[in-house]
Structure 1
């Protein structure tokens, strides 16, 4: 598969479980089933807020361990759930992004989606050296802080900053995207089982909507 986690990541976060999918044949004119996933999210949020969910609590602990204030830098799943709880829906961006956001809501697990053609070589989740480049969605170039957890490719381009906090505009899915790399990561008590369920559900919907046959892999320490 095209993504791996560094030995230090596994050492520092042995509770981590990751699901990886590679899929081709993605188009921007599809209509995935989002309702069944958002219904699950609504049911879970009816009993409290996203901060009460064990999946989110685990990521908050991870952010604290990385020296980040969890309420200032939130994992992507928490940000989505927070917006969904307040607004009742999420904006539509691209069918695949919409699907992955809905799945992320249902499982409270961050799901990163990358345009495979925009990633040089393989991807590694690792600590930054400080010389990597990160392109924001606004077109600005940033350099991650040394030691910050990033998604880095072979050209030392950072495709995500602060691990599951913010993705790069460089490899964002767009209308021309055909092949994608999808990564789901969790650290709570039932992380591996839930990541397996999420990966299976996402693979099923990719097959149904795009007739894709995604390659999948589950990793844990």
Structure 2
């Protein structure tokens, strides 16, 4: 089993001392039941249409406040969970992308929690939540072509030893570590603030794990709670 030890830099811990997240590592197996993901996504969209989780609005508002603390504008670059929720409320559903992506998007929508999915084999060193100085490389796509850009100085990013893997905490994922169903080793991070009950975060992680096990029987999965005041 591949070991993944994500860390949180002290500057981020100072900014959000009550931030906590579930780190889930998966040694994948062949996908035998891809429909599990589509069904989960449909259920999640229906849940949002029916009103969603009781803590959803408060949790997303807390993320918006946190984004403002490091200079981001959540109206223009919202956290990933809010961006997905807005699309569901506008369109009624989300298009299918990939079984694994669909599954973790379903968890994000249903629980109003940012969820990242990464191909951990593409990482150079371990994932780290850090404050950028503005010189870190971020690979992305612009007008359908590969492109590079840099985070703003002071921006909170996920990164590894090579560069930024996700900008503005959980707003935009990079191309280099992007996850798809053919990845052999996967890493998921479910990120929460106190407005989301801890038991809800645990339930969201359990549901993601259950869906992965149903979709790819034989997958090996480990999870751990991380945070500025949590020991892995």
User: TM-score normalised to the size of structure 1?
Assistant: 0.90
Structure 1 Cα separation of the partners of residues 91 and 194 of structure 2: 27
Pairs aligned (count): 220
Structure 2 Cα separation of the partners of residues 191 and 120 of structure 1: 33
What 5-or-longer segments of structure 1 have no aligned partner?
Answer: none
Report what 1:22 is aligned to: 25
Runs of 4 or more, structure 1, over 6 Å off, are none
Structure 1 Cα separation of the partners of residues 65 and 42 of structure 2: 26
After superposition, residues 1-221 of structure 1 pair within 5 angstroms as 1-27=4-30, 30-31=33-34, 32-36=36-40, 38-47=42-51, 53-138=57-142, 139-155=146-162, 157-174=163-180, 176-211=182-217, 212-220=219-227, 221=229
Q: 1:27·1:177 contact (CA, 8 Å) conserved in 2? A: no
What SS does the corresponding residue of 2:95 show, helix, strand or coil?
A: coil
Q: 2:32·2:216 contact (CA, 8 Å) conserved in 1? A: no
Q: Deviations over 1:102-159 (max 9, x none)?
A: 110000001001111111110101001222110113411011122111111022x100
CA RMSD of aligned residues (A): 2.4
User: TM-score normalised to the size of structure 2?
Assistant: 0.86
Q: 1:26·1:177 contact (CA, 8 Å) conserved in 2? A: no
Structure 1 Cα separation of the partners of residues 55 and 173 of structure 2: 22
Q: Structure 1 208/74 Cα, relative in aligned 2: closer, same or farther at 3 Å?
A: same
